[in-house]
Each structure stands twice: as C-alpha cells, then as structure tokens.
C-alpha cells in the first residue's frame, strides 16, 4: 500500500472544525495564538494544540515575536490533497459510467444550469 504521510497529515488537520476555522482566520492575515483563541472561547493552550497539528501538516507556520507567537498560513497549499481528490473524482466518474455524480449535479445547480442525466 502506498503511504502518503503529508496527505494523511493534511486530511487529519482538516478533519477538525476548529482547525478549519483557524485556517480561515489566517486567510485574512497573520494572528497571534491569543487572537485565534478569542472567538472560540477556548484556552490559549487548547488553541495552541490545534495550531501544532496545523504546523505539523505544513499548513501553518509560527514565529516568536516578543512574548507572542505569530501564526501564518504555511507553505503547503493543499496541492497534494487537491491532486488526490481530483484523481479520486476521476476514478469515481469512470466507475459510475458517465452518470452524473453528486458533484456534477451540484456544480450545474450552482451555475444555474439543468444537468443532463
């Protein structure tokens, strides 16, 4: 079986709603651990544990600035995860023999089109 350790770390990091929220917040710009903790009601220690998972996955970087730890989006842009999902989508489309998949139907609906069955 092929091992995809970076892919495993990315999916594990994204599996948690709090971590996805942290990534969304960091998409707006860098933030300290305490700033990330404010809207969640979590302790700084709790948020730090989530940030550590994101750091391990390469999705976030941190640096010490004075007494604070500043977080930024990391170098990994989920390229490997996106490539895996695209390959899986193609496999799924071949497996259903050209029948529209949920994603095809959803995309057509969002575009205001009537999908052909």
Query: What is the residue extent of each domain of the chain?
Result: 5-73, 79-106
What is the distance between the alpha carbons of residues 76 and 36, in angstroms, rounded to a whole number?
20
Q: Which CATH number fits domain 5-73: 3.40.718.10, 3.30.565.10, 1.10.4000.10, 1.10.10.10?
A: 1.10.10.10
pTM: 0.71
Per DSSP, 40 falls in state G
pLDDT in tens, 84-111: 889 888 888 777 665 666 666 777 788 8
pLDDT in tens, 30-54: 999 999 999 999 999 999 999 999 9
Whether 56 and 6 have beta carbons less than 8 Å apart is answered as: no
């Amino acid at each position: 079986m092929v091992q995809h350790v970076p892919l495993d770390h990315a999916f594990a990091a994204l599996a948690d709603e709090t971590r996805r929220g942290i990534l969304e917040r960091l998409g707006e710009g860098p933030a300290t651990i305490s700033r990330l903790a404010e809207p969640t009601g979590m302790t700084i220690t709790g948020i730090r544990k989530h940030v550590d998972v994101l750091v391990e996955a390469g999705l976030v970087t941190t640096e010490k600035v004075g007494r604070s730890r500043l977080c930024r989006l990391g170098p990994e842009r989920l390229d490997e995860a996106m490539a895996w999902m695209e390959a899986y989508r193609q496999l799924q489309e071949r497996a259903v023999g050209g029948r529209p998949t949920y994603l095809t139907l959803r995309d057509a609906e969002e575009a205001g089109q009537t999908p052909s069955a």
